[in-house]
Chains A and B, each alone.
Chain A
């Protein structure tokens, strides 16, 4: 499969807005999707990610704003004029046509006569050789999904849109397809825009993720950026889990000295996204070390508390610690050399300052928690 030879460029969404009556699904969205990247739009149901995708495909008309591919403004063009193809969540394979005709559909509509070679080649790419003459109803979910991908890819679009394509698959198959799609994208070199609510899926597959909430982008960056250094409580809670503790800045040096209910901790400046003195201090549960009282701690930031719950879940043990000020924090400890902490025991929680992040205290501490999907 040739590299993306189009003259297209980055996909740009400029002040893109979509209103349904009084409800604003997409609110002044501004986004640049780099050409040739695997880009994920991540967010809970109703955040506007699917609506955004459909506007790029041409299946919804923007209320205002622009959509550009390179220099070309496609904002109000009909879907059949856009160099964009979609893989639908329900696959939307034409039930009355066989696989060959399904895949060849786009080519035929564009007037291409010799479809046999491209169809066979793309079916090989998605590992469905020999299925050309079957009907969609005869195929399994995973196979239908691959046909849907083939049907879109064969047209060599500038952008491939994927609307939660793996949602209907079981766990093992989903994992396999995630790797498969990533492989295809790298091989083909086309810009993929993948919409999902599954944060693990997004982090596995995407080069860049934009986290959306209520029609707006909360934060955009690489999976590592978003996970290790979230800039909003929504992102902190939606991706993985976070402990968010209210704190006040007491001194500003190279690091910030922050007071947490009488405990002094340090936060590097680079990991603070606000100048305010009131902060949410965030640290991920897996970054915290749990040691019994009296034992040496493993990190410059230290607080203490009492274990209220310890759940062994195979890979790790999950603790709930009640701090001296009454808040319950989560700690995940990999089951390598356990601390052996049991409910009722007093423990120290310690972590590296570099693993801390700080957010503005005016943000809603509960945003994104619960709205986020379970870790599959």
Chain B
């Protein structure tokens, strides 16, 4: 029982208290950070295939038909275009991507300005029209375009793919630019006109610079949608081959590891762009602070 001296009792229970409180504190920390931990787990899950793609880009497969890691090699990165047609397909995707981005961003930005800055009849209908492509399954959009092209006997190929891409990119551009434009205080433009800037000067010097971030992110979104599109493209491509179509074909015939090189390269390139833009904007924010 209490044969221990009071001092030794005190030390013992203080030590118990300390470790008990440490456990308790760990429990509290764990519980309050539980959600964050789950979130990070989910992020890891999302990145898993990306890591696999990166690893497989260094793979030298035993045969074209297996798809697991065999031997490490730098060959794929040194000779990315060794596989016939793949680089052509990438080039086609890039060309279509750039053109469809330019055109859809232009058209979509015009529409966004009309929808946000002007009152006109039929606004609700226009909003619905813009929304519909985003809500339609690609199978339906792609197949319906195909029936149209076939009906008017328009040859399938580069131009039909381009037309289709512009079509579904417009909606995303409109929504993105609209969001940015709606947050722009119209009083800034009024102030500019009050200070002797006419409509064109106001647009050029005030509106455009302030909407530009929205236009840029819309363009980036349009490009990635276009480059990565498969279903709509597949229906309307005829004999032209884009990169996703090449991969699809390769999946039946045997996947060359260079496919993963392209995938990794795209990932790294896009990630670099994003990191750079974040650095620029956070450096600008730090200057203001």
Q: Contacts A79-B190, A94-B191, A137-B288: A155 and B196 contacting too (C-beta < 8 A)?
A: yes
B185 touches A79 (CB 8 A): no
A86 touches B194 (CB 8 A): yes
Q: A92 → chain B, closest Cβ, in Å? A: 4
Q: Contacts A95-B210, A138-B288: A59 and B196 contacting too (C-beta < 8 A)?
A: no
Main secondary structure of the interface of B (DSSP, over half): helix
Q: For chain B residues 168-215, which have a beta carbon within 8 Å of chain A?
A: 185, 187-188, 190-198, 201, 206, 209-210
Residue of B188, B194, B201, B288 touching A94 (CB-CB under 8 A): B188
Q: Contacts A95-B210, A137-B288: A109 and B197 contacting too (C-beta < 8 A)?
A: yes
Complex Cα distance, B195 from A84, in Å, reads: 9
Contact partners of A96 in chain B: CB under 8 A:
209-210
Contact partners of B185 in chain A: CB under 8 A:
90, 92
Residue of A78, A90, A105 touching B198 (CB-CB under 8 A): A78
Interface size on A, residues (CB 8 A): 25
Interface string of A136-178 (1 = CB under 8 A from B): 0110000000000001100100000000000000000000000
**A-B pairs under 8 A by CB, number:** 59
Q: For chain B residues 63-109, which have a beta carbon within 8 Å of chain A?
A: none
Contact partners of B287 in chain A: CB under 8 A:
135
Which B residue sits closest to A135, measured CB to CB?
A: B288
Interface size on B, residues (CB 8 A): 18
A92 touches B193 (CB 8 A): no
Q: For chain B residues 213-252, which have a beta carbon within 8 Å of chain A?
A: none
Complex Cα distance, B188 from A57, in Å, reads: 14
Contact partners of A372 in chain B: CB under 8 A:
none
B188 touches A109 (CB 8 A): no
Q: Contacts A105-B192, A137-B288: A92 and B187 contacting too (C-beta < 8 A)?
A: yes
B288 touches A86 (CB 8 A): no
Q: Does A110 contact B (CB under 8 A)?
A: yes
Which B residue sits closest to A54, measured CB to CB?
A: B190
Complex Cα distance, B191 from A94, in Å, reads: 9
Interface string of A70-88 (1 = CB under 8 A from B): 0000000011100011101
Q: A103 → chain B, closest Cβ, in Å? A: 10
Q: For chain A residues 96-115, which have a beta carbon within 8 Å of chain B?
A: 96, 105-106, 109-110
Which A residue sits closest to B197, measured CB to CB?
A: A109
Q: Does A48 contact B (CB under 8 A)?
A: no
Q: Does A58 contact B (CB under 8 A)?
A: yes
Q: Contacts A94-B206, A109-B201: A88 and B195 contacting too (C-beta < 8 A)?
A: no
Q: Contacts A92-B188, A94-B188, A135-B288: A109 and B206 contacting too (C-beta < 8 A)?
A: no
Interface string of A52-63 (1 = CB under 8 A from B): 000001110000
B195 touches A109 (CB 8 A): yes
A92 touches B190 (CB 8 A): yes
Contact partners of A92 in chain B: CB under 8 A:
185, 187-188, 190-191
- For B185, B195, B210, which residue has the most chain A Cβ atoms within 10 angstroms? B195
Complex Cα distance, B138 from A123, in Å, reads: 59
B197 touches A85 (CB 8 A): no
Complex Cα distance, B197 from A92, in Å, reads: 15
Interface string of A32-73 (1 = CB under 8 A from B): 000000000000000000000000011100000000000000
Which B residue sits closest to A57, measured CB to CB?
A: B194
A88 touches B187 (CB 8 A): yes
Contact partners of B201 in chain A: CB under 8 A:
109
Q: B201 → chain A, closest Cβ, in Å? A: 6
Residue of A78, A95, A137, A151 touching B195 (CB-CB under 8 A): A151
Complex Cα distance, B190 from A152, in Å, reads: 13
Contact partners of B209 in chain A: CB under 8 A:
96
Complex Cα distance, B194 from A151, in Å, reads: 11
Which A residue sits closest to B196, measured CB to CB?
A: A109
B195 touches A106 (CB 8 A): yes
Q: B41 → chain A, closest Cβ, in Å? A: 37
Which B residue sits closest to A85, measured CB to CB?
A: B194
Complex Cα distance, B61 from A231, in Å, reads: 97
Q: For chain B residues 248-289, which have a beta carbon within 8 Å of chain A?
A: 287-288
Q: Contacts A92-B185, A137-B288, A138-B288: A59 and B195 contacting too (C-beta < 8 A)?
A: no
Contact partners of A84 in chain B: CB under 8 A:
194
Residue of B187, B197, B288 touching A105 (CB-CB under 8 A): B197
Complex Cα distance, B190 from A59, in Å, reads: 7
Q: Contacts A92-B190, A92-B191, A94-B206: A80 and B288 contacting too (C-beta < 8 A)?
A: no
Which A residue sits closest to B206, measured CB to CB?
A: A94
Contact partners of B193 in chain A: CB under 8 A:
58-59, 78-80
Complex Cα distance, B210 from A96, in Å, reads: 7
Contact partners of A94 in chain B: CB under 8 A:
188, 191-192, 206
Contact partners of B192 in chain A: CB under 8 A:
94, 105
B210 touches A155 (CB 8 A): no
Complex Cα distance, B187 from A84, in Å, reads: 16
Q: Contacts A94-B206, A105-B192: A80 and B187 contacting too (C-beta < 8 A)?
A: no
Complex Cα distance, B194 from A58, in Å, reads: 8
Contact partners of A86 in chain B: CB under 8 A:
191, 194
Contact partners of A90 in chain B: CB under 8 A:
185, 187
Query: Could you give 5 example pairs across A and B, Cβ below 8 Å?
Result: A78-B198, A85-B195, A86-B194, A137-B288, A152-B195
Hey, which bits of chain A sit against chain B, CB under 8 A? 57-59, 78-80, 84-86, 88, 90, 92, 94-96, 105-106, 109-110, 135, 137-138, 151-152, 155
Hey, which bits of chain B sit against chain A, CB under 8 A? 185, 187-188, 190-198, 201, 206, 209-210, 287-288
Q: Which 5 A-B pairs have the closest CB atoms?
A: A106-B195, A92-B191, A109-B196, A79-B193, A80-B196
18 further contact pairs, Cβ within 8 A, besides A57-B194, A90-B185, A92-B191 = A58-B193, A59-B193, A79-B190, A80-B195, A80-B198, A85-B194, A88-B190, A92-B187, A92-B190, A94-B192, A94-B206, A95-B210, A106-B195, A109-B195, A109-B196, A109-B201, A135-B287, A138-B288
